[in-house]
Amino acid sequence: MHADHQPGGTGCPAWCTGFHDPTETEDGSHRSTPWPVAVIERRAGGEGPYDRIAATELAVGVEVRWGETWVWITPEDDVRRGLVLTRESAQRLIRALDGIFDEVTLGH
Ligand SMILES: [Zn+2]
């Protein structure tokens, strides 16, 4: 629950830390606290044709909206590059990465 939550708000799960406008009735969106993940990534826009390497942080979290669970994966410094996937899609992504890492010999 969150300080902005109305006491007795309808259907707000315990993990929700999203803002709810107290002047509105149920807005149908519940958000978890963002989970920070420090990452190193390759980005376009380096010198000449080369990518550059950047350290950033991803915020990952869960939102329930429109009766669906959404998983967001968003670079802290550029929300426009974020992904918002259904839970099933995120689980497929996890399985795909697991499969790739099992299959590909990374050499170290
Ligand atoms: Zn909520």
Q: What is the pLDDT of residue 44?
A: 83
The alpha carbon of 13 and the centre of ligand 1 are apart by a number of angstroms equal to 6
The alpha carbon of 19 and the centre of ligand 1 are apart by a number of angstroms equal to 7
pLDDT tens-digit map of 9-52: 567 889 999 888 777 766 678 999 999 999 999 988 777 778 88
CA dihedral 33, 24, 68, 38 (to 10 degrees): -20
pLDDT tens-digit map of 43-87: 887 777 788 899 999 999 999 988 899 999 999 988 899 999 999
pTM higher than 0.85, yes or no? no
The alpha carbon of 64 and the centre of ligand 1 are apart by a number of angstroms equal to 9
Rounded distance, CA 73 to CA 82, Å?
6
The alpha carbon of 45 and the centre of ligand 1 are apart by a number of angstroms equal to 39
